Structure 1
Amino acid sequence: MLLLVSLFGCVAAVGAVGTHARLSPEAILPASAESVRAEAVLVSRFGAGEPHLMLLATTSGSVDGQRAATSGRDLTDRLAADPRTAWVRSYWPRHPAGLRTADRHRALILVRFRGDERASRAAGDDVVARYTGRAGPLRVSAAGTFAVLSESDRLSERGLHLAEIVAMPLVLLVLLWTFGSAVAALIPVAVGVLAVVSTTAFLRLLTEVTTVSAFALNITTALGFGLAVDYCLLLVSRFREELAREGSTGPAVRATLRTAGRAVAFSGAIVAVCLCTLFVLPLPLVRSIAYGGVAVVLASVAGVLLVVPALLVLLGERVNRLDVFVRLRPRKRTRSAEGAGAWYRLALWVTRRPAAVAVGVLLLLGLLAAPAALTRFGMYGDRLLPHFSPVARTSQEVRAAFAATVSDRPSVVLLGPGAARSAEAVDGFARRLSRVPGVRRVDTVTGAYRQGRRSALPPGPAERFTVGGATRLSVVPATGPAPQDGLTPEGSRLAARLRAVPAPVPVLVGGAGARLNDVEGVLADRLPPAVGFAASATFVLLLVFTRSLLIPVKALLLNALSLMATFGLLVAVFQEGWPAGVFFGPRGAGVTDVIAPLMFAVAFGLSMDYEMFLLSRIVEEHRRGASTPTAVATGLQHSGRLFTSAAVVFATVTASLALSDLLHLQVVGTGLAVAVLLDCTVIRALLVPALMQLVGRANWWLPGARTKDRGQERKTGRARTP
């Protein structure tokens, strides 16, 4: 078995080579989304669309000076002559006022590239590398989508290296302490490497047929090692227990697979089902996480159930060798005193005052979840960059100095020959658009409109607004003290109001706000049935595993409470910036990324993982005849150290991502770490025992099942008095 698995691992390692280069940096919306189709029409028919790069040229003198103008024209000509460039809008040589600041010290060059995402991104990276810096008297810096992506890739790679340097030694120490031997600690490392490598090879094959996001690889790596530690810890600990009882390796391995192996299989099924619900969402980024997540879960379960038993058969007693912390460990207790461990005493303390503990924990979770009421969903955009990043500084400078030129304007496109022929229809539609709340002006082929009235002649030649049977309307949003950002709730609501205006022909609405509105629309339509499916499938699997009707309901509700508390904490820290001055910079982002809550699919699966650790022993003790308090206390004594240690390992890996300078990695790393630590402490160690004590015998109620179990226990002679 080990030879076959090793051969498979070598083949997978070869197949995984070059995966990262084929992953997409930002694949959020599918090509069928309305905002994506609107952008495609603007680019193909009008030579417009959002620029990929914005080059800010700054000089100490005037941008109209001879040397500055010569350098600016030379830079513009070189960009325009590049065959990869679709169009260039520059202050030089025509000197449009919107591309120059009033003090004449700064001017702007907007660039868009040809080709698909990978080709245009490569062209943008090359332009940033070649043309930023000094250009004669000009100092050129970059902003825009591609500049943000390039900077985020650089910072992400640096952050991941830093996380590896910090996290790996800590994880190794936790594994050595938890497994009690260097030999046993290497088992989850081997299984984790096998799971991650095979999943990376699978993603490499998947890139041949669909778009796969680079973010999926980060999630897959963390999840693969987390599950490997979880499952290996459960099997190795149970093997040691059975080996001490049986005295022989073969029977101990078989007993381990009958008990802990069954729990691993059910747990893996639950985690995979939770991640499968992400397939319901037609967003490439989300489906990429689902592909990688489901693959790494199945690979982890297969690795644990195939590799670990084979290793245990070969190692036997040698699995306990090389305990580097042997002098620091307390002496082993005698068998008669095993029930009096710290976890056992904690469970009994909770079951003596269940109502007080339950109320206290629920109040704490409610307090943590309260900031979720302040949630403002949006997209981070360049907010994900740290304030000291040159791209972030340039982006802020461009937004402040060129608000009217580079603001996130919605674009409305009327399709069909009727839109081009009927000036009356275009006029009426433009008047209706200009009356939409949040719109300051609408520009189109028939004129400029304000508050339902035409206020000026067309702002440019007719070809700018009507081409090939399509008519374009440029919407200028109303602005407050700062330019409106389309990647905020206000931008999304404006796009929704524009889409609700009756149009004479088919219409497309694009822009940053429209993209956010498309993502929110997909989540609003598909997320409720996805959550319902995950909850139903998890309930059924837990029902089969526990043979109880109430325990699965309790598990689902407690997981939901834990995730809400985690989400509220993330909103307080990263959106509102309440403790940000100490930990995460000077202020919050102002919005919560609309994709961020989807990471809770991973957190929910891991929480169920720890639930299975606890339930497997509680149910086993109860079926042997123990009362509910004793079953809970004994189950917590046997599994508390396991799921706490597993959670600490996973939290160490994910929390190290918070060392990154990128906001979205900080959110994901902190969120997953808080979720698992909160779950393994106040939820599993306090709230679960309290609620099970309050419910009492009803925990085990299932029509027609309980009597059969008790009768079987009496027949087999396994029932015992605690």
Structure 2
Amino acid sequence: MIPPGRNVAARWARFTARRGRWIALGAVLFAAAALLLGSRVAGHLSHGGWTPTGAPSVTAEQRLADTFGTGSEHLVLVVRADGHTAERRVAAHGSALVRALRHDHRVAHVASPWAPDERRLRATDGAAYAILVRFHGSDSQVHAAGADVLRRTTGRHGPLTVTATGESAVVAETERLSDRDLRTAELIAAPVTFAVLLLAFRSLPAALLPVAVGALSVAGTMAGLRLLTSLLPVSLLALNITTALGFGLAVDYSLLIVARYREQRATGRSPGQALATTVGTAGRTVAVSALTVCLALAALLFFPLPLLRSLALASIMVTVLAAATTLILIPAALVALGDHLDRWDPLRAVRRRRAGPATTAHLWRRLAHCVLRRPLTTALPVLLALAALAAPLLGARFGIHDDRMLPPTSATARASALLRHHFDVAERRPAALLLPGYQVRTRPGPVADYARRASDLPGVRRVDAATGSYRHGRPVPPPPHIRPAAFATAHSTRLSVVADGDPLSPDGARLAERLRALPAPAPVQVAGLNARMADTTEAIVSRLPAVLATITATVFLVLLLLTRSLLLPLKALLLNALTLAATLGTVVHLFQEGHAPWLTGDIAVTHITDLTVLCLMFSIAFGLSMDYEIFLMARIVEEHRRTGDTRTATAVGIEHTARVFTAAALIVAVVMGALAASGLLALKTIGTGLAVAVLLDATLVRAVLVPAFIRLAGRANWWLPRVTARRGRCRSAGRP
């Protein structure tokens, strides 16, 4: 029986003990409703969202489409003919395909390689052709039309083989791979997680509890995402990321609760007493940890990118769900299981031939004492290793991944590679300069001068305008597909800027900034991928100081209240920054530079690091690192208040929590490692980065650097200004 008490922990423990059956029934009903609601969530998720809401480039593209009826294509059909097929026969079948597309009411424009003067849509070796398709409507209507056209047009058409790339094809392929990878991750993560828990707990019921809570959290995550899609567009990546995060956090929190309960029972306490103490200590730690993770993720809301905001809201939702599920279900299950919690160990026979269960805890304690005796000797090699891992971050080049985020073996990726290597891609996606309200027919001179100066900018191959074409500041004959009359209306003028290089790279963003800074004869708007990249970079960089300040301040306050110390929160932030730098440096080394392909698998090396992926990974990794920091520091603070001795408190804290947070980190690494097995470069990057972050944090940082720091700081660890300390003591004593 749970002893009477007025504190929240005792009341909650009594409530879950008395309502165990109702809680179990509620969990079953919740799981059924969540699975029903979330079963088709993938069809409601969106693609893109990496451009800031209301960005100048988006406004320019919309005005360009409204005024001139031009814009980027949504679909590119890559057509190849069988060997030795006559050109006339290829043109006949290809033109029939183009006519069918033009008769589709959803199609706004089709550019045919068999039209006169469209040499740009033919491969340089003459072996392939590109058909450009643009659709009417919103993003959802465009992608629905693109998916339908893909089904009808790709494949064999007489002597032609048609494959597809472009935005709509990439979206469709991303959806397919995301769904496949989610199933693969679940098949990998669940059994491996269960095996780790079985080794850690030595009991089948104890190992099953975290897995059950994790599965319930995943079901709730899918239902929550479905509800969130009715309020705002949610990125397609959210399903894989939040499912992995929710499962990992739920297992972590459950692991902490069950381990502390078993520890209390091992001291001879009754189930009621053990549960009340567990909820008051480990339960409080879970609540503080979830709050810290949510605060780290909430900082992403500062960025005006729909992609990051939707992922932040989805991740916050799943973190709250994981903590709530743990604090509701686990106490009720512990009471219901009673003495059966420690029975049915499938590995008992193996364990009898090995050392006892206390050996692991003693090893951690000996390691802690070793670090406490020689803090500098043990900490310096770790610091040097983390600095070496962080070094590649200095060479990071930030951009946005395009179709090369797909695995190279994908049919869409192969079509993209063919287009990139055998067509003049720069001609297909120029930047656009829009001069609204400018009448070039009455004032052609300023436009000609503006076009000449724009063509002389670094990275610009050619500028086309109503006054002609220009290269390196001089007029040149326009290409066959360029018609100068199409660059002007009665009220507006546009220029087309054909640029070399990748528009979604730092060089592409710099070119957009140069075009915006170039003096123009009228107010100018810049459209195109270069401008989108510049807007995204500016939105992230300009808000980065506010994001970092918010994360630092809020997490510092939470840790201040937890530890009643000024130095320990600063230590936590410093070590977390070191872990994150090492993690991001590892990601740059593996994915930007393409090292260790045996680890990363077959990926397209673009020599850029996706800026949006990096922001998301930073926030999640920061939250997970703080997760383990709170696991450890909560126990060290508890032991210090009990004994008053810093060295003893540190050693005992590591002894009792190291096995918990290393097992938790291993489970999260397994879950994220399953995500790293994805064929999508963004998911692979996030999964690998987060696995590296938690493993570094739970081993080198928590087991070595934390005790070394505490030993060197000595009594300063517990320093707090007198007024704040007095208020804290008054609150803990219940006085106003």
Which TM-score applies when normalising by structure 2? 0.91
Runs of at least 5 residues in structure 2 that lack an aligned partner in the other structure: 1-18
Tell me the alpha carbon deviations over residues 592-636 of structure 1, each in whole angstroms, 9 at most, x when there is no partner.
Answer: 111121212111111111111111111111111242221111000
Q: What does 1:219-298 correspond to in 2, within 5 Å? A: 219-245=241-267, 247-298=269-320
2:56 to 18, 34, 59: 34
Q: Indicate yes or no: 2:629 matched with 1:611.
A: yes
Q: Indicate yes or no: 2:616 matched with 1:572.
A: no
Aligned to 1:415: 436
CA spacing shift, 1:706–1:65, aligned 2, 3 Å: closer
Q: Is the Cα–Cα contact under 8 Å of residues 240 and 675 in structure 2 kept in the other structure?
A: no
Q: What does 1:123-202 correspond to in 2, within 5 Å? A: 123-202=145-224
Q: Is the Cα–Cα contact under 8 Å of residues 55 and 535 in structure 2 kept in the other structure?
A: yes
Q: Indicate yes or no: 2:345 matched with 1:323.
A: yes
Q: Is the Cα–Cα contact under 8 Å of residues 631 and 661 in structure 2 kept in the other structure?
A: yes
1:359 to 380, 384, 391: 380
Q: Is the Cα–Cα contact under 8 Å of residues 106 and 136 in structure 2 kept in the other structure?
A: yes
Q: For 1:92, what is the secondary structure of its paired residue?
A: coil
CA spacing shift, 1:691–1:468, aligned 2, 3 Å: farther
Q: Is the Cα–Cα contact under 8 Å of residues 550 and 698 in structure 1 kept in the other structure?
A: yes
Amino acid at match of 1:601: S
CA distance in 2, matches of 1:243, 1:253: 9
Aligned to 1:522: 539
Q: Is the Cα–Cα contact under 8 Å of residues 99 and 405 in structure 1 kept in the other structure?
A: no
Q: Is the Cα–Cα contact under 8 Å of residues 564 and 718 in structure 2 kept in the other structure?
A: yes
CA spacing shift, 1:615–1:656, aligned 2, 3 Å: same
Q: What does 1:324-403 correspond to in 2, within 5 Å? A: 324-329=346-351, 341-403=362-424
CA distance in 2, matches of 1:42, 1:461: 17
1:213 to 222, 231, 235: 235
User: What is the CA distance between 1:333 and its match in structure 2?
Assistant: 9.7
User: What is the CA distance between 1:583 and its match in structure 2?
Assistant: 4.7
Aligned to 1:440: 461
1:635 to 629, 650, 653: 653
Q: What does 1:460-479 correspond to in 2, within 5 Å? A: 460-467=482-489, 469-477=491-499, 479=500
Tell me the alpha carbon deviations over residues 491-519 of structure 1, each in whole angstroms, 9 at most, x when there is no partner.
Answer: 11111111112334332212222222111
CA spacing shift, 1:102–1:572, aligned 2, 3 Å: closer
1:78 to 93, 100, 104: 100
1:510 to 507, 510, 527: 527
Amino acid at match of 1:400: H
Farther off after superposition, 350-359 or 164-173: 164-173
Q: Indicate yes or no: 2:610 matched with 1:593.
A: yes
Q: What does 1:104-115 correspond to in 2, within 5 Å? A: 104-115=126-137
Q: Is the Cα–Cα contact under 8 Å of residues 419 and 505 in structure 1 kept in the other structure?
A: no
Tell me the alpha carbon deviations over residues 240-285 of structure 1, each in whole angstroms, 9 at most, x when there is no partner.
Answer: 1222335322221111111111111111110110011111111111
Q: Is the Cα–Cα contact under 8 Å of residues 62 and 68 in structure 1 kept in the other structure?
A: no
Aligned to 1:718: none
2:691 to 670, 673, 689: 673
CA distance in 2, matches of 1:251, 1:206: 40
Aligned to 1:720: none
User: What is the CA distance between 1:667 and its match in structure 2?
Assistant: 0.8
CA distance in 2, matches of 1:640, 1:193: 25
Aligned to 2:12: none
CA distance in 2, matches of 1:123, 1:572: 39
RMSD: 2.7
Q: For 1:236, what is the secondary structure of its paired residue?
A: helix
CA distance in 2, matches of 1:130, 1:577: 37
Q: Indicate yes or no: 2:579 matched with 1:562.
A: yes
Q: Is the Cα–Cα contact under 8 Å of residues 377 and 593 in structure 1 kept in the other structure?
A: yes
CA distance in 2, matches of 1:143, 1:255: 59
Q: Is the Cα–Cα contact under 8 Å of residues 63 and 107 in structure 1 kept in the other structure?
A: no
Tell me the alpha carbon deviations over residues 163-213 of structure 1, each in whole angstroms, 9 at most, x when there is no partner.
Answer: 333332211111222233221222223322333333332322222231111
User: What is the CA distance between 1:97 and its match in structure 2?
Assistant: 2.0
Aligned to 2:706: 688
CA distance in 2, matches of 1:240, 1:572: 42
Q: Indicate yes or no: 2:445 matched with 1:427.
A: no
CA spacing shift, 1:442–1:518, aligned 2, 3 Å: same
Amino acid at match of 2:512: A
Q: For 2:497, what is the secondary structure of its paired residue?
A: strand
CA distance in 1, matches of 2:452, 2:518: 11
CA distance in 2, matches of 1:354, 1:273: 32
Q: What does 1:638-649 correspond to in 2, within 5 Å? A: 638-649=656-667
Q: For 1:112, what is the secondary structure of its paired residue?
A: strand
Aligned to 2:74: 52
User: What is the CA distance between 1:286 and its match in structure 2?
Assistant: 0.4
CA spacing shift, 1:273–1:102, aligned 2, 3 Å: closer
Aligned to 2:16: none
2:549 to 525, 532, 544: 532
Amino acid at match of 1:443: D
CA distance in 2, matches of 1:416, 1:373: 45
Farther off after superposition, 36-45 or 271-280: 36-45
CA distance in 2, matches of 1:707, 1:41: 60
CA distance in 1, matches of 2:52, 2:361: 57
Q: Is the Cα–Cα contact under 8 Å of residues 385 and 661 in structure 1 kept in the other structure?
A: yes
Tell me the alpha carbon deviations over residues 445-498 of structure 1, each in whole angstroms, 9 at most, x when there is no partner.
Answer: 122223444445798445511236332110122x4xxxx221222111111111
CA distance in 2, matches of 1:306, 1:104: 66
Q: For 2:225, what is the secondary structure of its paired residue?
A: helix
CA distance in 2, matches of 1:456, 1:465: 16
Q: Is the Cα–Cα contact under 8 Å of residues 57 and 535 in structure 2 kept in the other structure?
A: yes
CA distance in 2, matches of 1:62, 1:560: 61
Q: For 1:502, what is the secondary structure of its paired residue?
A: coil
Amino acid at match of 1:414: L
Aligned to 2:668: 650
CA spacing shift, 1:131–1:227, aligned 2, 3 Å: same
Tell me the alpha carbon deviations over residues 388-422 of structure 1, each in whole angstroms, 9 at most, x when there is no partner.
Answer: 32322221221222216645421111223567754
User: What is the CA distance between 1:677 and its match in structure 2?
Assistant: 0.5
Aligned to 1:97: 119
User: What is the CA distance between 1:650 and its match in structure 2?
Assistant: 0.9
Q: Is the Cα–Cα contact under 8 Å of residues 187 and 232 in structure 1 kept in the other structure?
A: yes
Q: Is the Cα–Cα contact under 8 Å of residues 413 and 470 in structure 1 kept in the other structure?
A: yes
CA distance in 1, matches of 2:70, 2:86: 26
Aligned to 1:547: 564
- Matched pairs, number: 707
User: What is the CA distance between 1:62 and its match in structure 2?
Assistant: 7.4
Amino acid at match of 1:302: A
